[in-house]
Amino acid sequence: MSQSPLHQQTLSQLASGLHKKSFSSVELTSHFLDRIKQYDNQLNSYITVCDKTALAQAKAADERLAQGNAGPLTGIPIGQKDIFCTQGIKTSCGSKMLDNFIAPYSATLIEKCDTAGMVMLGKLNMDEFAMGSSTENSFYGPSKNPWDENTVPGGSSGGSAAAVAGGLCPIATGTDTGGSIRQPASFCGITGLKPTYGRISRYGMIAFASSFDQAGPMTRTAEDAALFLNAVAGFDPKDSTSCEEPVPDYTQTLNDSIEGLTLGLPKEYFTDDLDSSIATTLNDAIEALKKLGAKVKEVSLPHTDYAVPTYYILALAECSSNLSRYDGVRFGYRCENPKNLTDLYERSRGEGFADEVKRRIMLGTYTLSAGYYDAYYLKAQKVRRLIAQDFHKAFADVDMLVCPTSPTTAFGLGEKTSDPISMYLSDIYTIAVNLAGLPGMSIPAGFVNEKPIGLQLIGQHFQESKLLNVGHQFQTVTDWHSNMPANYR
Just list the catalytic residues.
81, 156, 180
SS3 230: helix
Burial environment of residue 325 by CB neighbours within 10 A (0 to 12, 13 to 18, 19 or more): exposed
SS3 132: coil
Sign, CA torsion 128/130/132/136? positive
Sign, CA torsion 62/65/66/67? positive
What CA–CA distance (Å, rounded) separates 93 from 105?
Answer: 15
Backbone angles phi, psi at 439, to 5 degrees: -80, 140
Judge whether 264 and 402 are in contact, CB under 8 Å. yes
Give the largest Cα separation in the chain, rounded.
70
Judge whether 307 and 169 are in contact, CB under 8 Å. no
Element spanning 226, H or E: helix 222-232
**How many CA atoms are closer than 13 Å to the CA of 420, on its beta-carbon side?**
12
- For residue 23, the 8-state DSSP code is S
Judge whether 430 and 249 are in contact, CB under 8 Å. no
Q: Please report the DSSP string for 286-351 in residue order.
A: HHHHHHTT-EEEEE--TTGGGHHHHHHHHHHHHHHHHGGG-SSSSSS---SS-SSHHHHHHHHHHH
- For residue 373, the 8-state DSSP code is I
What CA–CA distance (Å, rounded) separates 1 from 149?
Answer: 31
Judge whether 329 and 105 are in contact, CB under 8 Å. no
Helices 307-322/355-368 angle, 10° precision:
100
Task: Return the number of other C-beta atoms located less than 10 Å from residue 418's C-beta.
Answer: 8
